[in-house]
Amino acid sequence: MKRILTVGVFDYFHYGHLKLFEQAKNIVSDGFLIVAVQKSEFIKKYKPEADVFYSTDVRCELVGALRCVDKVISYTDVSEIVRHIDFDIFAVGADQNHSGFISAIEYCRQNGKGVVRLQRTPNISSSLIKYNLDREI
């Protein structure tokens, strides 16, 4: 069984997040999906303008309720979590490209872990939801 790790904030939980988890889970036929949810107090390090809607515990509960997710953990920094979790493949979202992700990807490549860049779900994002609440998606 291959252990797949993906990470993110997952606030304003939406359809694109679900599709991301399904893509990650299906990278390999026997995938075990671990989703790391960033702790609220650390989100502003990389997204200083962020207004966090759900607490860390609520976001973990939402993510953990999905059939495609096998395990949920919380984390502070992506460049650190990859060093402390047992996994085989790091599944990275198309928009996850700040310095922490660059460092995490480099660590994975240097330590024999696969890295897979996942596709975005068209026309959906947390920003669209936040700023277009009257629009049907």
Q: Give the CA count within 13 Å in the CB-facing half-sphere of 19.
A: 13
Residue-wise pLDDT tens digits, 91-112: 999 888 889 999 999 999 999 9
39: phi then psi, degrees, rounded to nearest 5: -65, 140
Indicate whether 126 pLDDT > 80: no
Indicate whether 42 pLDDT > 90: no
42 vs 62: which has the higher pLDDT: 62
Residue-wise pLDDT tens digits, 43-70: 877 677 777 889 999 999 999 999 999 9
- For residue 127, what pLDDT is reported? 56
Closest C-alpha to 46, from 103, 89, 87: 103
Indicate whether 35 pLDDT > 70: yes
CA distance 74 to 70: 14
- For residue 49, what pLDDT is reported? 74
Average pLDDT over residues 108-118: 97
